[in-house]
Structure 1
């Protein structure tokens, strides 16, 4: 077996890493769609999209950190827990 490329973060970091990755991916997709809708394919500029993406991510990450506990609680009303309680 080969050695891992880097040392993994401890398990409690998952509460910050998962929203970080989710916010990066979602803000990327949403800002791309928004930029393309406002500029069109012909006038699309990577610089504009990157600016929109960064601004979207700066908002998205803290919002995800703030609302994730609420979303978990709301989800528990809709989805049965693994233990069945």
Structure 2
């Protein structure tokens, strides 16, 4: 288990990992089709995309939270 202070980092790592995995899979299948070697190409693309997605998400998440807070009404 991780201490609660790591929740934002863990959330960003999981979200960026899942999203980059899905997007690189779709992009790889679209580019090369379901063919021999496709999985290796996909994993190569994913390993490049995941750290980039994580860094971007860490910087963009606070801005996104502020934007969402500005766009929604309080329900109290």
Fold conserved between structures, TM > 0.5: yes
- Which residue in 2 is equivalent to 1:41? 34
The structure with more radius of gyration: 1
Mark the runs of 5 or more structure 1 residues left unpaired by the alignment.
1-7
- Which residue in 2 is equivalent to 1:4? none
Structure ranking higher in helix proportion: 2
TM-score by structure 2 length? 0.90
Runs of 4+ in 1 over 3 A off after TM superposition: none
Mark the runs of 5 or more structure 2 residues left unpaired by the alignment.
none
What SS is found at the alignment partner of 1:41?
Answer: coil
Matched-pair contact (CA < 8 Å) for 1:35–1:44: no
Instruction: Tell me whether 1:58 sits opposite 2:59 in the alignment.
Output: no
TM-score by structure 1 length? 0.81
CA RMSD between the two structures: 1.5
- Which residue in 1 is equivalent to 2:16? 23
